[in-house]
Amino acid sequence: MSEIRKHYFLEKYCVIAGERSKRPTDFVKERAPEPGPETCSFCPGNEDLTPAATAVYRYEGKKLVIQKDEDNKRVKDWEVRCFPNLYPALPGHEIIAETPDHEKHPSDFTDDEITLLMQVYSDRTTHHLENNDTQYVSLFRNHGRDAGASLSHPHTQLIPVPFVPPMIMQELTAIEEADRCPYCDIVERESGGERVIIENDYWIVFAPYCSRLPFEMWMLPKKHVSSITAIGDLAPMGKALRDALLKLKTLLNNPTYNYMFFQMDSSSYHLNIRIEPKLSIAAGFEKNTDVFINTMPPEDAARSLREIDAPLKI
């Protein structure tokens, strides 16, 4: 039986199409090979092909050093490199090259590598919010060509937006009108339940009750924080994200996906990260109604992902 489900606290709906449901293997797609490193302007040695870096993270011995490219000279031997997009969508549009390794994605990062990436996310968010013209920092990762990545080198993008997107504003209004934070309620409701994928003292990763997409995952801090910039210890966060991505990669043969950080410089907001694998297409019904038909019940998606043996030590 199909079931109409409502979002936890917004007027949004999805249809869980139970009788059309599939097994995880039905979602596995063959991926076309992506361009090799010889053409890659994000790879080490090709720094001159990009604008001068705004922040370069590198180690001197064991000490982490953060530098910029000064006088048009490029800093080498980096771990993470942030630089302006050559074709910015909006002023300030930045690329975060997550690793010098062309083939290594966050699902395969070590604990130290993923924690460093979280620090870069936090630092760059802070940096862009210091600009008074920035009302919202869009931080997202497109994995694979059909999820919007035009270059295959592992990278995240950050776009400062000079207004608060209406979708975020609507959500913030609903949060502020509620008696208590709806996301804190979600943590309580989902904790220990059948839709949990990863859970530890600080973070919960789960398939949301109203999943619009097959294998959609949300990641929430258990403590109410509005943005990554307010998190003291970034290691548990990085590991939860890494493990969620590794489970997804293992279960579904490295599917393309987007992940997005939803965060605000407002104490009422509750940081959340959403991972959306690209396994289905929004077709006529979705575009006609904004109601999504999902053929993978989140309870089944969560069970399959939970059972995948990925590192869970946090």
Is the Cα torsion angle 174, 180, 181, 185 positive or negative in sign? negative
In the complex with Zn ion, which residue's Cβ is closer, 47 or 300?
A: 47
To Zn ion, the closest distance from the beta carbon of 118 in angstroms equals 20
Q: Which amino acid is at 14?
A: C
Residues in binding contact with Zn ion, number by CB under 5 A: 11
Minimum separation from the CB atom of position 133 to Zn ion (A): 28
Among 27, 136, 183, 218, binds Zn ion (CB under 5 A): 183
> Min. distance of Cβ 73 from Zn ion in angstroms?
21
Whether the Cβ atoms of residue 261 and residue 225 lie closer than 8 Å to each other: no
Q: Is the dihedral of CA 234, 150, 143, 215 positive or negative?
A: positive
Nearest approach, Cβ of residue 191 and Zn ion (Å): 13
C-alpha–C-alpha distance, residues 66 and 96, integer Å: 14
User: Which residues in 244-283 contact Zn ion (CB under 5 A)?
Assistant: 270
Nearer to Zn ion, 102 or 247 (CB): 102
181 contacts Zn ion (rule: CB under 5 A): yes
* CB-nearer residue toward Zn ion: 51 or 293: 51
Return the residues of window 88-107 that contact Zn ion according to CB under 5 A.
Answer: 102
Shortest separation between residue 36's beta carbon and Zn ion, angstroms: 9
How many angstroms separate the CA atoms of 62 and 56, rounded?
Answer: 16
- When binding is defined by CB under 5 A, the residue of 14, 15, 43, 279 that contacts Zn ion is 43
Are 215 and 27 contacting, i.e. CB atoms less than 8 angstroms apart?
A: yes
Write down the least CB distance from residue 229 to Zn ion, Å.
Answer: 16
**Residue placing its CB nearer to Zn ion in the complex, 100 or 277:** 100
Query: What does the chain come to in residues?
Result: 314
Q: How far is the CB of 269 from Zn ion (least distance, A)?
A: 8
Query: By CB neighbour count within 10 A (0-12 exposed, 13-18 middle, 19+ buried), where does 307 fall?
Result: exposed
3-state secondary structure 208-235: CCCCCCCCCEEEEECCCCCCHHHCCCCH
Nearer to Zn ion, 22 or 76 (CB): 76
Closer to Zn ion by CB, 37 or 84: give it.
37
CB nearer to Zn ion: give 224 or 274. 224
How many Cβ atoms sit within 10 Å of the Cβ of residue 103?
12
Q: Does 153 bind Zn ion (CB under 5 A)?
A: yes
Strand locations in the chain (E): 2-6, 13-17, 55-60, 63-67, 80-84, 94-97, 136-143, 155-161, 196-199, 203-206, 217-221, 257-262, 272-277, 292-294
Q: Which one of 161, 172, 184, 308 is in contact with Zn ion (CB under 5 A)?
A: 184
Buried b (16+ CB within 10 A) or exposed e, 47-81: beebebbbbbbbeeeeeeeeeebeeeebbeebbbb
Closest to Zn ion by CB, 71 or 201 = 201
Which range binds Zn ion by CB under 5 A, 104-112, 173-181, 241-249, 258-266? Answer: 173-181
Q: Which residues bind Zn ion (CB under 5 A)?
A: 37, 40, 42-43, 102, 153, 181, 183-184, 224, 270
